Chains A and B, each alone.
Chain A
Amino acid sequence: MATVVAPRRGIFARPTGATGWLSWVTTVDHKRIGIMYCVTAFAFFIIGGLEALLIRAQLAQPNGEVLSAEAYNQFFTMHGITMIFLVVMPMGVGLMNYLIPLMIGARDVAFPRLNAFSYWVFLLGGLFIYSSFFLGGAPDGGWFGYAPLSTQLPGDGMTFYSLGLQILGVASLAGAVNFIITIINMRAPGMTLMRMPVFVWMSLVTTFLLLFAMPVIAVALFQLMFDRVYEANFFRPSAGGDPLLWQHLFWLFGHPEVYIMILPAMGIVSDVLPTFARKPIFGYAAIVFAGIAIGFMGWGVWAHHMFAAGLGPVANSAFALSTMFIAVPTGVKIFNWIGTLWGGAIRITTPFLFAVGFVAMFIIGGLSGVSHSIVPHDQQQTDTYYIVAHFHYVLFGGAIFGLVAGFYYWWPKVFGYLLSEALGKLHFWLMFIGFNLAFAPMHILGLQGMPRRYYTYPDGMGWNFWNLISTLGGFVIALSFVVFIVNVIRSHKKREEAGDDPWDGRTLEWSIPSPPPEYNFARVPVVQARDDWWHKKYVETPEGEPTRVFAGGANGDDAHGSEEDAGHGIHMPDPSYFPLVASFGLPIMGYGVIFQPVLIGVGALILMLGLFGWVLEPSAEEAH
């Protein structure tokens, strides 16, 4: 009997390959996408770091001659844009990508192709912004782009800024939608919200923040673009516009943005510390609710970036108060992390060190942050190196230390082999010392009156010594990352097999093989408790101490099933060309706005064709 072959839908066959470069370019697997996010973000981290080293080289001495004023303004602008939009955010999203399905017992995210689209738009958006260096000059109005300076700076740099961040915003929004739906809808049976790992909770809050914050800056960026390219007057006071409108819109986005950057790292630390202390997170509910509170309250503090802008004593007082009180949920988290360590049986590993480093440095950054709420004194602190010190303590000492902790912690799960502990600890100590050398002195420099965004400073201000120390610290940080790269290369060669659960972990990702199979879980787990994986391995004695269940958790327990059955009948979505195709449309439209309006149409067409192909292609090719 002849079999009936269904007619093909779509223009050409959906790719099905699982190996080779094409399989990466068309992948819709959240694990591969997560890896690509993190690798790309790390590459941008190196570039942003080199920009920082140039800045520090210029400022090492008074009247520096390493960079001209023009070059300096581009480098400090791009350093900020890179580290925020091309490093910390995508690294957080990359880890969220890889881990969330694994932690909630799902096989992928809700919209795998949208996930791929987010990644490609991020990559192309980053390349678009960096192409400005070769096309007339990079943005030079600061990452915060205050109008009217940003509307009237000559050249195309700030236009690249307005379009590039717009493109990146699309990636963030798509990702936010994807993760919210994944977390809410795709948890394994028994995985209630209050049984989710803290990392998943923090990611949920982060994605809601993204969902509401990105549209605000999208509006501001459109207005900036129209002011620059199409002679609009949103921010032109001589035509009735208002420069403060930009600041309000920017910081309404910008403040939730900093919580977007820190919450995933806080989530990582909240999962790393319990593993190495061998006890549950202290105050799970409080940490979760504190994270939610930070998410809410973060919307009410934006004008603390504007204390010198002239909003008046009533507004300044209101924002002083809201800023002070956001320290309360933050403090709750810090105390609960310490409580997690208390009474523990701590194994001091590399990820543990970075997680503790996060807590230690975030305490400092948090305290200096509270000092900014003292409005009259903030009028002294604002726009000086005191502020630069604060945000590097929370974003580097906080977010980066936390993300690096996550790298070391989940590396064995992702790649199947362990990173060297000795080199990892060397990385930590070099980074810790270098970081503090680089940024602690900036508190002093700020209080001694050194403003930000200065391409040079004169002799005789009392700033020479600490600037030199800070530059030295920057180079020590760079050295620490050389150690990291050496670690990766050596460990990859050595290939010390990690096994499923090298750290004796608590959460579901440690119950499956390293690296996980494409479908993650052979059998969808049924979750019975928070830290379900831990509770499969251990029960509590009457004294409250964990004791190993005989053969519990061995061979991955329920998750594997038998080796031959593993994977049969589990169908994962096929790879697809169209997220990549569609994503090309956006930067082409961007180039169209700057150089040649025809390209706007071309880019829009590519985007439309990509979306149509996406919608119309079959969910899978015939059995393969």
Chain B
Amino acid sequence: MLTGVEAKFITEQDWMGTPGKRKSRILFGLVLATFALLVAACAPDAPQDVLKPEGLFAREADRLWRIVFPIAVVIFFVVEGVLIFAVIKYRQRPGREAKQFHGNTKIEVALTAIPALILAGIAVPTVRTIFDLAEERPGSMQVTVNAHQFWWEYNYPELGITTANELHIPVGQPVRVRLEGLLTDPVDGTEEVIHSFWVPRLMGAQDVVPGRAEFVLLQADRPGEYWGECKEFCGLSHANMRLRVIAQPQEEFDAWVQDMQATEEHEATLEGADLFVNGADNIGQPCSACHSVEASQEQPRIGPNLGGFSERGTFAGAIFENNEENLSAWLRNPPAVKPGAKMPNLNLTSEQVDALIEYLQSLE
């Protein structure tokens, strides 16, 4: 114990803290409460919940998680438990000194080997799954994804259609998504940046790197609408670059494809149609300079393709519900409602906005 010289500055009371039983009860209660909270958290319905996979890739990833997570939980309780136990049990007590041992080779070797073995066990299925998911499935539909600041462009090379933000796929069919990084943004010629394509319930993310092309497997098990987001920080509206994957039964998907392949049969007499194609004196450029309204017409690829716009549930990077109020706010001043949006403020009048909304909502 201490000599008298030091002991008078620190008393036993300072070190002993609260009596053991109460402290261990408090700690146990804390641990239990934390765990209960965490378990409760698994309940709420989150549209991008990783723990509720509904696509092939996501299910495979989840399968690995279901091996690793329980092991981690057990290790957590065991190791934390031993730690807390040691802190409580081996508190200083009168009449008992500390045992001066320096180590225990057997235990140390075991505690090095056992984790290594557990990890080796985890490694095998992990590597298998990595390679499996990288393989192209036979009968895959091909889709090319291009990422812009701040919206998603989709091209179906086999079907000859282009669309944006909402990706339709047939249920149960593997889709080989080709993530093609554009070099520059056609809007202003600036360097395109890295984005990451992610649909949590269906697939893990894959980066879209300028100048590179990479593939990822997308396949939905059930019909439905699956939400996704850009996952690589890409600038001011990184948080506003969302997407939807709409998985449809085969007939519905085929009908959608046909619809998109067909030429727009809108009423050419709509005032908005003229405005869209030809612009007006007070507008810098007509809408058609950047946007195509034909899904079968890829160019111009400057802004999102608006073919079939009225059927879309969302727009502007899937951040706004497709309704009149939102369209009005957007058309009046896009950068004001979406920071950094590259569609400029065109100084449209109210009448022009209304006309365009009418036109857009006629696009099937």
Specify which of A151, A153, A380, A451 is in contact with B58 (CB 8 Å cutoff).
A380
> Are B100 and A540 touching (Cβ within 8 A)?
yes
Contacts of A218 in B (CB 8 A): none
- A 170-212 to B, binary, CB cutoff 8 A, 1 in contact else 0: 0000000000000000000000000000000000000000000
> Are A363 and B76 touching (Cβ within 8 A)?
yes
Tell me the bound Cα distance from A312 to B103 in angstroms. 43
Task: Check if B122 is an interface residue, CB within 8 A of chain A.
Answer: yes
Give the contact stretch, choosing among B78-86, B139-147, B245-253, B280-288.
B78-86
> Are B108 and A283 touching (Cβ within 8 A)?
yes
Q: A146-B232, A349-B14, A376-B129 are in contact. Are A282 and B90 (CB under 8 A)?
A: no
Specify which of A153, A280, A332, A496 is in contact with B108 (CB 8 Å cutoff).
A332
Contacts of B238 in A (CB 8 A): 453-455
> Are A462 and B127 touching (Cβ within 8 A)?
no
Task: Check if A608 is an interface residue, CB within 8 A of chain B.
Answer: no
Say whether chain B's binding surface is mostly helix, strand, loop, or mixed: mixed
Contacts of B130 in A (CB 8 A): 313, 316-317, 320, 375-376
Q: Which residue of A lies closest to B111 (CB)?
A: A335
Give the contact stretch, choosing among B49-57, B290-298, B305-313.
B49-57
Task: Check if A356 is an interface residue, CB within 8 A of chain B.
Answer: yes
> Are B134 and A313 touching (Cβ within 8 A)?
yes
Contacts of B212 in A (CB 8 A): 237, 244, 310
Tell me the bound Cα distance from A443 to B41 in angstroms. 10
Task: Check if A20 is an interface residue, CB within 8 A of chain B.
Answer: no
> Are A346 and B134 touching (Cβ within 8 A)?
no
Contacts of A283 in B (CB 8 A): 102-104, 108
Contacts of B92 in A (CB 8 A): 278, 345-347
> Are B210 and A321 touching (Cβ within 8 A)?
no
> Are B107 and A339 touching (Cβ within 8 A)?
yes
Specify which of A448, A499, A554 is in contact with B49 (CB 8 Å cutoff).
A448
Contacts of B48 in A (CB 8 A): 448-450, 461
> Are B83 and A356 touching (Cβ within 8 A)?
yes
- A 128-172 to B, binary, CB cutoff 8 A, 1 in contact else 0: 000000000000011000101101110000000000000000000
Closest beta carbon of chain A to B146's beta carbon, Å: 14
| Most B CB within 10 A of own CB, among A146, A334, A373, A377 | A377
Tell me the bound Cα distance from A298 to B190 in angstroms. 36
Task: Check if B267 is an interface residue, CB within 8 A of chain A.
Answer: no
> Are B209 and A243 touching (Cβ within 8 A)?
yes
Task: Check if A7 is an interface residue, CB within 8 A of chain B.
Answer: no
Q: Which residues of A319-371 have CB atoms within 8 Å of chain B's CB atoms?
A: 320-321, 324-325, 327-328, 331-332, 334-336, 338-339, 341-349, 356, 359-360, 363-364, 367-368, 370-371
Q: A317-B127, A383-B231 are in contact. Are A286 and B108 (CB under 8 A)?
A: yes
Closest beta carbon of chain A to B260's beta carbon, Å: 28
Q: A308-B205, A345-B93 are in contact. Are A499 and B9 (CB under 8 A)?
A: yes
Closest beta carbon of chain B to A308's beta carbon, Å: 5
> Are B233 and A453 touching (Cβ within 8 A)?
yes
Q: A244-B209, A453-B238, A502-B6 are in contact. Are A336 and B108 (CB under 8 A)?
A: yes
Task: Check if A3 is an interface residue, CB within 8 A of chain B.
Answer: no
Contacts of A421 in B (CB 8 A): 14
Contacts of A342 in B (CB 8 A): 86, 90
Task: Check if A279 is an interface residue, CB within 8 A of chain B.
Answer: yes
Task: Check if A465 is an interface residue, CB within 8 A of chain B.
Answer: yes
Q: Which residue of B lies closest to A469 (CB)?
A: B37
Q: Which residue of B lies closest to A342 (CB)?
A: B86
> Are B75 and A153 touching (Cβ within 8 A)?
no
Interface size on A, residues (CB 8 A): 120
Total cross-chain contacts (CB, 8 A)? 330
Closest beta carbon of chain B to A417's beta carbon, Å: 10
Q: Which residue of B lies closest to A503 (CB)?
A: B10
> Are A343 and B98 touching (Cβ within 8 A)?
yes
Specify which of A149, A277, A316, A457 is in contact with B233 (CB 8 Å cutoff).
A149
Task: Check if B194 is an interface residue, CB within 8 A of chain A.
Answer: yes
Contacts of B227 in A (CB 8 A): 449
Specify which of B46, B116, B236 is in contact with A325 (CB 8 Å cutoff).
B116
Tell me the bound Cα distance from A242 to B196 in angstroms. 17
Q: Which residue of A lies closest to B185 (CB)?
A: A152
Task: Check if A238 is an interface residue, CB within 8 A of chain B.
Answer: yes
> Are B61 and A376 touching (Cβ within 8 A)?
yes
Q: A308-B206, A338-B79 are in contact. Are A502 and B340 (CB under 8 A)?
A: no
Q: A320-B126, A338-B82, A501-B6 are in contact. Are A451 and B229 (CB under 8 A)?
A: yes
Contacts of B82 in A (CB 8 A): 338
Tell me the bound Cα distance from A316 to B340 in angstroms. 34
Give the contact stretch, choosing among A26-34, A258-266, A542-550, A568-576.
A542-550
> Are B97 and A278 touching (Cβ within 8 A)?
yes
Closest beta carbon of chain B to A147's beta carbon, Å: 8
Q: A146-B194, A149-B235, A453-B233 are in contact. Are A465 and B44 (CB under 8 A)?
A: yes
B-to-A contact residues, CB < 8 Å? 1-3, 5-6, 9-10, 14-17, 34, 38, 41-42, 44-51, 57-58, 60-62, 64-65, 68-69, 72, 75-76, 79-80, 82-84, 86-87, 90-93, 96-104, 107-108, 111-112, 115-116, 119, 122-123, 126-127, 129-131, 133-134, 179, 181, 183-184, 190-194, 196, 198, 200, 203-207, 209-212, 214, 227, 229-239, 319, 339-340
A-to-B contact residues, CB < 8 Å? 68-70, 73, 141-142, 146, 148-149, 151-153, 236-238, 242-244, 277-280, 282-286, 308-310, 312-313, 316-317, 320-321, 324-325, 327-328, 331-332, 334-336, 338-339, 341-349, 356, 359-360, 363-364, 367-368, 370-371, 373-384, 418, 421, 425, 436, 440-441, 443-444, 446-458, 460-463, 465-466, 496-499, 501-504, 540, 544-548, 553-554
5 A-B pairs with least C-beta separation: A449-B48, A379-B204, A462-B46, A237-B211, A310-B214
Q: List 13 A-B contacts (CB under 8 A).
A: A69-B236, A153-B235, A278-B92, A316-B130, A332-B112, A336-B103, A348-B15, A363-B83, A374-B68, A374-B126, A383-B196, A448-B50, A460-B47
